[in-house]
Amino acid sequence: MALTPLDRTLRWRPTEGAGLEHCRVLRTDRDTRIRGAVITADLGLFYSIKLSDEGKVRSVRVERTDGKLLELFADGAGTWSDGRGDPLPALRGAIDIDLSATPLTNSLPIWRTDWTIGQPQRFVMAWIDAATMTVKRDEQLYTKLDDTHFRYQAADRSFERVLEVDADGLIIDYPGLFTRVG
């Protein structure tokens, strides 16, 4: 399933504390390229994500302003390696990423999935903690509630939010964490 073209610049701010994210999403019939910068009271980072034409993560680069760098590469079928080319078997099965510092990555499974209202879908993520620059396998549930709302849940149901999205599936409001400002 190829995704429709998209060229958007977005900004989010955290709902608590100072900060801002500036992000550009460029999707063509060949791939999707995402570049963003996040500045908060606790950190500054740049990230870039490349997706296949089907919306599956192929590469991720997160670089903090303190010089810490995380690079990941994926085959789109759930096999991952790090920036040195070393396999990351703990991430096996993950198709998407979830970068803790941005709501943008919550859009990735929304974009590439055929949805039925009220039917939960389980996703395996490579979850990146921007504070520690670590990555782990994480299972998440998304349920389309209507055309502009998705319920996001940790697989163990320990965390839940109803996300508001626009017509392009981009997050408008992530209650308690992020609000779009541009």
On the 0-12 / 13-18 / 19+ scale of CB atoms within 10 A, 20 is middle
Q: What pLDDT score was predicted for residue 182? A: 80
Closest CA to 42 of 143, 131, 103: 131
Q: What pLDDT score was predicted for residue 92? A: 97
Closest CA to 97 of 88, 106, 110: 106
Tokens 């994926």 correspond to 74
Number of neighbouring beta carbons within 10 Å of residue 77: 9
Q: What pLDDT score was predicted for residue 2? A: 64
Query: pLDDT digits over 67-87, tens only?
Result: 999 999 999 999 999 999 999
Give the mean pLDDT of 10-30. Answer: 96
Q: Give the whole-angstrom CA distance, residue 80 versus residue 162.
A: 30
3-state secondary structure of 109: helix
pTM score over 0.85 = yes
- Would the pLDDT of 57 be above 80? yes
Query: pLDDT digits over 138-174, tens only?
Result: 999 999 999 999 999 999 889 999 999 999 999 999 9
Q: Binning pLDDT at 50, 70 and 90, where does residue 3 land?
A: confident
Q: Binning pLDDT at 50, 70 and 90, where does residue 64 land?
A: very high
Q: Give the whole-angstrom CA distance, residue 118 versus residue 2.
A: 24
Q: Which two tokens stand for residue 74?
A: 């994926």
Residue 32 makes CB contacts below 8 A (sequence gap 6+) with 3, 6, 25, 26, 49, 50, 51, 55
